[in-house]
Chain A
């Protein structure tokens, strides 16, 4: 494999990672969770958080910043700044928020995937970070490979070909 494969960081549920240069941030099996990815094209740096819940008010344990969009975005900006990125150059990509088993949802209720997407967009707008691309919603889980050098994200779902956003 190439060098990029050697610098792969796996981002688990409610986890985060930040890299600069040839790194690849990988997350596997996003269901209704949302991956928020921030990229500074100038510095070739990127960070990813695998957020689980749309709001801190839904959880008693709020110690982990990567679990919620409202805490994950400021946290990622801080980590990227530490890596030499300029917060004013950041662009965002979002993926995930699928609604699996949709037929069992109470009709009319807003499901968690949708709430995660809305919350993530809201926090990014408040932080003034434009969203460059999204692969959200739908009924299938996603696995992502985020190449921090150029900001490219490979999105894979079971039974379909990979696409790049």
Chain B
């Protein structure tokens, strides 16, 4: 496969199912950490030109807290966990057992807290994939930035991806059950070469 645009309908369906298993486990982990109900959406496979990447998720101008990790081993690529900036602070409240609405900035402790949450969620996601596909997947250390969504998304693809024309992501949205609307996105960004490994592992060729 030379190009993500060559993906067939059945392959896209299979990727959705793979993502659903991973996101399901990540959601369970998040639910146990926050002691709340988590709902996940049906995973979407987004294919876009590099120029269109800022508009992939939400408004490009919104500030987001983003945790990026490398995925190494039998599959290579990255995982990106995105929260709107205010949702990231609420998540800190929940994980640090503070009254909701207390966290006002991303200081050292809060940064560490979000990175650790990213680590656990990506770990759960990769564990599920590795069990299901019989592969060895290793996560790197997490890295956090709090910045404008457009800058985060383009940099993720430009600096770390190998595709410069058409890019894709497997995206799952999750909602945290709370009084206010709390949601985030989990993105799996496998390298193009790893897609073949995924299809081979699930015997879809």
Residues of A within 8 A of B (CB): 12-15, 28-33, 52-53, 58-61, 64, 67, 98-105, 111-113, 139-143, 157-159
Contacts and interface: CB of A to CB of B under 8 A. Distances in A.
A27 to B, nearest CB: 9
B173 interface: no
B51 A12 contact: yes
Nearest to B105: A159
Contacts of B145: 100-101, 139
B177 interface: no
Given A59-B165, A103-B141, A112 B159 contact: yes
B148 A141 contact: yes
A104 B161 CA distance: 12
- By secondary structure, the A interface counts as loop
A56 B53 CA distance: 19
Nearest to B55: A12
A105 B63 CA distance: 23
A60 B68 CA distance: 27
Contact of A29 (B50, B143, B151): B151
Interface of B: 49-54, 60-61, 63, 68-70, 140-141, 143, 145-152, 154-156, 158-160, 164-165
A67 B146 contact: no
B152 A12 contact: no
Contacts of B151: 29-31, 98, 100, 141-142
Contact of A52 (B140, B143, B147, B154): B154
Given A111-B159, A112-B158, A28 B60 contact: yes
B160 A33 contact: no
Contacts of A102: 143
Given A13-B53, A101-B68, 6 more contacts: A12-B51, A29-B149, A32-B154, A52-B51, A142-B151, A159-B146
A31 B143 contact: no
Which 6 pairs, one residue from A and one from B, show the smallest C-beta to C-beta distance?
A29-B150, A141-B151, A31-B151, A31-B155, A29-B148, A29-B151
Contacts of B68: 101, 104
Contacts of A31: 147, 150-152, 154-155, 158
B188 to A, nearest CB: 16
Nearest to A111: B159
Contacts of A113: 155, 159
B166 to A, nearest CB: 9
B56 to A, nearest CB: 11
Contact of A101 (B54, B160, B164): B160
Contact of B54 (A13, A58, A99, A112): A13
Contacts of A33: 154, 158
- Interface hub of B51, B146, B148, B151 (most chain A Cβ within 10 A): B151
Contacts of B69: 104
Contacts of A111: 159
A99 to B, nearest CB: 7
12 contacts: A12-B54, A13-B154, A14-B51, A28-B61, A31-B147, A31-B158, A32-B159, A52-B51, A60-B165, A61-B49, A64-B51, A101-B68
B146 A28 contact: no
